[in-house]
């Protein structure tokens, strides 16, 4: 337990109320209690965010990135929660004033998972003109880049809701993040999509703990930071820099993925036209023993090169 931690401390953790979000928040709470050696208890406080209220719309029609974090961020700001647990891919590039991302536990599988109840294993193998359900502009564009003939319908909702929509025949296939399926012990329902086909969203597979460090006891900040998995934290550093460089929003289809492989940091990034007709891809590498600044520079460099290749202005989806 970090020195100076007050005895019998209660920490309130803000999270969405979906089954996956609760699994993530409860794991963070359990880890904090374990690392606090019995002197810390955690209370889960759930919120229904703006993103949770959407059932048929794309995010761009309701305010874009931040819809899954805004209400929880406000609760941290006004003291109703001490910290928040988010899926990193839902966190906007710009954080609320005074907030920081203090911890990045170990990343799960960052790939997308393809799901079809017909036994088809890939979007490439779907019948001509088949329907794919997704609310992700990135997945929509990447799917159309592989198969321009496919039809895209908007799928929103948590894992269970989307599976039910498939069962009801509202689409022939859909996607879910493999990381979420891992945490829910449901990986058997999906086939991982190669990163060469679908570069994941920046931060996919990583959860993060946000708080206002200046409002917390330094020993509590140290406790939260003890959740860090260093490789996951460094990957998040590169991917967040990429996102910020491109001013990543829910209007542009983009993917960015950093990973440590064979002693090197590799980064793949791309931006796509909404209809998948063009994609601008860049990749680069650094030696494995590098600083946070170098990894952030890697992410920014990929973003800069993509913007230059795309002619300066990134393609964007329009409101429906």
**Backbone angle region of 282, left / alpha / beta, with phi > 0 → left and psi within -120 to 50 → alpha:** beta
Assess whether 214 carries a catalytic annotation: no
Beta-sheet strand order (sheet of 191-192): 151-153, 131-133, 173-177, 112-115, 191-192
Tokens describing residue 41: 């208890």
Q: Coil, strand, or helix at residue 95?
A: coil
Query: Rounded distance, CA 195 to CA 7, Å?
Result: 46
Residue 247, classed as helix, strand or coil, is coil
* 93: exposed, middle or buried (Cβ count in 10 Å: 0-12, 13-18, 19+): middle
Torsion of CA 187, 264, 104, 192, to 10 degrees: -10
Exposure of 48 in the CB half-sphere (CA atoms within 13 A): 5
Asked if 215 contacts 93 with a C-beta cutoff of 8 angstroms, the reply is no
Closest CA to 24 of 205, 148, 194: 205
Q: Please pick, among 90, 112, 172, 268, the residue that the annotation labels catalytic.
A: 90
Helix or strand run (H / E) with residue 237: helix 230-245
Let me know how many helices (H) and strands (E) the chain has, helices first: 9, 13
52 membership: H or E segment, kind and range: helix 50-53
Angle CA 5–6–7, to nearest 5: 115
Euclidean distance between CA atoms 242 and 121, whole angstroms:
31
DSSP 3-state of 219: helix
Residues serving a catalytic function are 90
């Amino acid at each position: 337990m970090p020195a100076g931690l007050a005895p019998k401390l209660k920490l309130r953790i803000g999270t969405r109320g979906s089954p996956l979000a609760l699994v993530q928040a409860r794991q963070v709470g359990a880890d904090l209690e374990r690392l606090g050696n019995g002197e810390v208890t955690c209370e889960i406080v759930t919120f229904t965010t703006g993103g949770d209220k959407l059932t048929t719309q794309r995010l761009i029609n309701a305010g874009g990135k931040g819809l899954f974090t805004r209400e929880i961020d406000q609760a941290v700001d006004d003291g109703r929660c001490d910290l928040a647990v988010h899926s990193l891919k839902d966190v906007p590039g710009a954080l609320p004033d005074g907030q920081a991302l203090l911890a990045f536990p170990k990343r799960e599988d960052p790939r997308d998972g393809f799901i079809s109840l017909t036994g088809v294993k890939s979007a490439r193998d779907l019948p001509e003109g088949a329907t794919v359900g997704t609310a992700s502009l990135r997945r929509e564009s990447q799917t159309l880049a592989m198969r321009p003939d496919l039809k895209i319908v908007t799928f929103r909702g948590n894992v269970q809701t989307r599976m039910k929509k498939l069962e009801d025949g509202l689409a022939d296939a859909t996607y879910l993040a493999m990381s979420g399926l891992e945490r829910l012990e449901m990986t058997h329902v999906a086939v991982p999509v190669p990163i060469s086909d679908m570069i994941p969203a920046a931060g996919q597979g990583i959860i993060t703990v946000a708080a206002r460090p200046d409002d917390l006891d330094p020993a509590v900040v140290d406790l939260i930071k003890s959740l860090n998995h260093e490789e996951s934290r460094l990957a998040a550093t590169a991917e967040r820099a990429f996102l910020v460089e491109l001013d990543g929003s829910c209007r542009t289809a983009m993917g960015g993925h950093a990973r440590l492989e064979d002693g090197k940091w590799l980064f793949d990034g791309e931006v796509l036209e909404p209809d998948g007709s063009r994609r601008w891809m860049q990749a680069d590498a650094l030696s494995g023993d590098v600083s946070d600044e170098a990894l952030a520079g890697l992410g920014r460099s990929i973003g800069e090169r993509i913007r230059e290749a795309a002619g300066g202005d990134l393609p964007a989806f329009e409101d429906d």
